[in-house]
Structure 1
Amino acid sequence: MKSYAAYLLRRFGQFVLVMFIGMNVAFVVTHATPIDPVEQSIAAATSFGSTSPEAIAMMRESLRELYGLQGGIWEQYVGFWKRVVVLDFGPSLSAFPTPVSTLIWRALPWTVGLLLVSTAITWVLGNLLGGLAGYLHNNRTLNVTGLLVMGFHPIPYYIVALLLLIVFGYVWPVLPITGGAQMNMARGWNFDFVVSVVKHSVLPVLSLVMVGLGGWFMGMRSLVSNIVSEDYVVYAELGGVAKSRILRSYVMRNALVPQVTGLAMSLGGIFNGAIITEQVFGYPGIGALMIDAVHAGDYSLVLGLTSVSIVAVSAAVLLIDMLYPLLDPRVKLA
């Protein structure tokens, strides 16, 4: 029990360190950009008519206060961490005066739902098919399935997404191709709205699954192909142990440990796929919100989205680290 507590303490320390470094990188990158959000906001506000210098000076001072850009770099850094702690990144420029936190919490459930479902399906299905293909290597159906999933793996997200748009939006228009739910529908936990959300998420989830499935399939198949030649597996087969038990308890469980490691490493890149997929399908998540914020030069919104993404990915990796001992008890003593 003490070893497990020490393991959790070390992992939590790594989580805090990673989050701290990521937040600092986000602060440095946003402050190193050549775009001045204050001057850009002033230029947008004064583009429709002349404004007195006194009004512009007052506007500049107010905007610097709103964006947390008052004082020197140290004062701005301290102010940034104060905003992070209370989750207040000020108002959004592109949706002024709506707070950044409101926009993020409005878009975050869409992206979290999309990524959780697609990642879970991809990881579980890819490992299951890969494990079966590695153990039953002469099965023709599994071999053909492997060729199909590996064929989609090197194709970029946007190519697969556009292909799905053409097929299911124009050639065989049976699924909605844009948005997160039907417009002008009352939102809430009612049957019609849930069905609409599921229909609108089919194509985005399918595009992510089709591209990501091949990687997990190939990795699991390679791991299982090596494990089946181990002495303990050969001994179990000679001892008359049922193949289903060998596959479940002797092969798959041992092969899953590296795959869980791969899952933790891949979480850092899942938002890349979300940004592309949400932009293609007009999905109302943080990926589409990030693109709009960059185009609008919305400094506060970009900083808020980056910070939330860092925390979310770091927390997900911490959760997977906590599940490690359930798969491999030796991890507790490492």
Structure 2
Amino acid sequence: MGKRRYLAYAIRRLAQFALVVFIGVNLAYVITHATPIDPVEQSISAVTYYGNTAPAAIEQMRSSLRELYGLSGSPVEQYLVFWKRILRADFGPSLSAFPTPVSTLVTRALPWTVGLLTVSTIVAWGLGTLLGGLAGYDRTNRGLKLMGVVAMGLHPIPYYILALLLLIVFGFLWPVLPISGGSAMNLPQTLSVDFVLSVLLHAILPALSLILIGVGSWFLGMRALVSNVVTEDYVVYAELAGVQPWRILSSYVMRNALVPQVTGLAISLGGIFNGAVITEKVFGYPGLGSLLVDAVYAGDYGLVLGVTTVSILGVSVAVLAIDLLYPLLDPRVKVR
């Protein structure tokens, strides 16, 4: 692969990345601003609910809040103010947590979601890929056959249904694990042993609900891929030539079947910025998912827009990384 061809390929992919982000953020802007909820009137109603306020003071407050939320001026001026704020990573104040900035709320919630979903996704991908590869190569193993049946049973179950089942079992029937929050409330959020152990303990049930469903999906996908690869001529020739089965599995079968799995992993890792919305809400986990649900209920479209923009960037960066790495990892992929 020539360096110039790859450079031209990378520039095209970067241009596509910028276009996707631009379109996605614009769609989020249009959808959130199409809601009938006016954050300015919401804020004024909350302030004036318990007392009488002079009309002049209310009008001055309305003018100040419109400027604060970027809603003053014509629609074109509002749109330009919006993009200026986006470029500065400034989404304005949150309506539901006024006057805390949206960026502060997103920054607080992001590490919880990234930690939970990154670990859950990688563990589920690793277990599902390994076991699925073994099941696809050795069709006679009864244990792997049983695992395939279990995977097919878990695969169609929505992850939030499993989350509710885990909540009932380990929260009420056999209460041995914490069922709410990201850590114990009386612990300071520092890198102390007690806080880290509390975080790990509180993450067991949310992570388990995601891992069990994820393992089934990755298992079935890898088993199907390996089942197609084992029929290829080079695998049959290696078996006839007396190559060790473990060598065939690792170097001939798994290596060639991993490419689609790696693609799926990268997209899944990019999608962690969406948050496991219902799972986080079920377990009261302080991540982006819970933040997004609370923002929707409160009509806080500034916060909704902030979480959505972070999600769009995360998924787009993951896809861009796949596009840039594919020609380097797989020589069969041509740079065009």
Scaled to the shorter chain, the TM-score interval is over 0.9
Moved more, 24-33 or 171-180: 171-180
Opposite residue 278 of structure 1, the aligned amino acid is E
User: Residues 262-290 of structure 1: CA distance to partner in whole angstroms, max 9, x if unpaired?
Assistant: 33455676566611111000000111111
Output the TM-score relative to the length of structure 2.
0.94
User: Residues 285-324 of structure 1: CA distance to partner in whole angstroms, max 9, x if unpaired?
Assistant: 1111111111111122111111111112212222233332
Equivalent pair of 1:7/1:332 in contact (CA under 8 Å): no
Separation in 1 of the partners of 2:273 and 2:204?
Answer: 18
Map 1:1-334; keep pairs closer than 5 Å.
1-266=3-268, 270=272, 274-331=276-333, 333-334=335-336
Separation in 2 of the partners of 1:243 and 1:10?
Answer: 42
Equivalent pair of 1:179/1:284 in contact (CA under 8 Å): yes
- Paired residue secondary structure (2:52): coil
Opposite residue 160 of structure 2, the aligned amino acid is Y
Moved more, 278-287 or 84-93: 84-93
Shift of 1:8: 2.7
Equivalent pair of 2:113/2:272 in contact (CA under 8 Å): no
Residue 193 and residue 284 in structure 1: after superposition, are their counterparts in 2 closer, same or farther (change >3 A)?
same
Gaps of 5+ in 1: none
Output the TM-score relative to the length of structure 1.
0.95
Separation in 1 of the partners of 2:221 and 2:213?
Answer: 14
- Paired residue secondary structure (2:22): helix
Number of positions where the alignment pairs a residue of Structure 1 with one of Structure 2: 334
Equivalent pair of 1:4/1:332 in contact (CA under 8 Å): no
Equivalent pair of 2:113/2:275 in contact (CA under 8 Å): no
Opposite residue 141 of structure 1, the aligned amino acid is G
Shift of 1:241: 1.1
Residue 326 and residue 144 in structure 1: after superposition, are their counterparts in 2 closer, same or farther (change >3 A)?
farther
Separation in 1 of the partners of 2:325 and 2:190?
Answer: 33
User: Residues 68-87 of structure 1: CA distance to partner in whole angstroms, max 9, x if unpaired?
Assistant: 01111111111111111111
Equivalent pair of 1:267/1:317 in contact (CA under 8 Å): no
User: Residues 22-71 of structure 1: CA distance to partner in whole angstroms, max 9, x if unpaired?
Assistant: 11111110111111111122122222122221111111111111110111
Equivalent pair of 2:28/2:309 in contact (CA under 8 Å): yes
Shift of 1:92: 1.2
Shift of 1:206: 0.7
Shift of 1:333: 3.0
Shift of 1:222: 0.9
Separation in 2 of the partners of 1:224 and 1:120?
Answer: 20
- Paired residue secondary structure (1:323): helix
Q: Please tell me the root mean square deviation across aligned C-alpha atoms, in Å.
A: 1.7
Gaps of 5+ in 2: none
